[in-house]
């Protein structure tokens, strides 16, 4: 059974950093494209970043602040978030697809339960 479990969310002051983890089981992260998405209250789910072989994509709103990476041995994908802003507040989800990276949620077949990130002073 394919499963994704996010962790690492929490409350952080503006300008701070958090690292989110997405632990996979039932498949290998090296064989799938793994995306990070976020959804703020009253807003649509939006793509934040995606990683697959030879590809790392970022939304314009997080470029230069967020870094996606993966550890094949740990079967985990990470999202390092630096210089956090209040507008980064959202539930963050990781998702997997057998196809290519996309900024849209629809191609992603498997989803984690989400982790809350709150940026506030």
What is the per-residue pLDDT across 7-25, written as a single tens digit (0 to 9) for each?
A: 999 999 999 999 999 999 9
pLDDT above 90: residue 54: no
pLDDT above 90: residue 1: no
Residue 42's contacts (CB-CB under 8 Å, 6 or more residues apart) are none
Write out pLDDT tens, residues 71-110.
Answer: 999 999 999 999 999 999 999 999 999 999 999 999 999 9
Q: 70 near 77, Cβ under 8 Å?
A: yes
- In this structure, the number of other CB atoms found within 10 A of the CB of residue 59 comes to 16
Let me know the angle formed at the C-alpha of 56 by 85 and 11, rounded to the nearest 5 degrees. 25
Report d(CA 101, CA 98) in Å as an integer: 9
Tell me what pLDDT residue 93 has.
98
Which candidate, 118, 103, 92, 108, places its Cα nearest to that of 7? 92
């Amino acid at each position: 059974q394919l499963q994704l479990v996010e962790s690492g969310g929490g409350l952080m002051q503006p300008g701070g950093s958090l690292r989110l983890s997405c632990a996979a089981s039932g498949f290998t992260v090296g064989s799938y494209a793994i995306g990070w998405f976020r959804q703020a209250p009253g807003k649509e789910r939006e793509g934040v970043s995606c990683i697959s072989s030879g590809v790392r994509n970022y939304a314009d709103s997080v470029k230069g602040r967020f870094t996606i990476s993966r550890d094949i041995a740990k079967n985990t994908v990470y999202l390092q978030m630096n210089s956090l802003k209040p507008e980064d507040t959202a539930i963050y989800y990781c998702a997997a697809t057998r196809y290519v990276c996309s900024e849209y949620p629809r191609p992603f077949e498997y989803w984690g339960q989400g982790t809350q990130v709150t940026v506030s002073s």
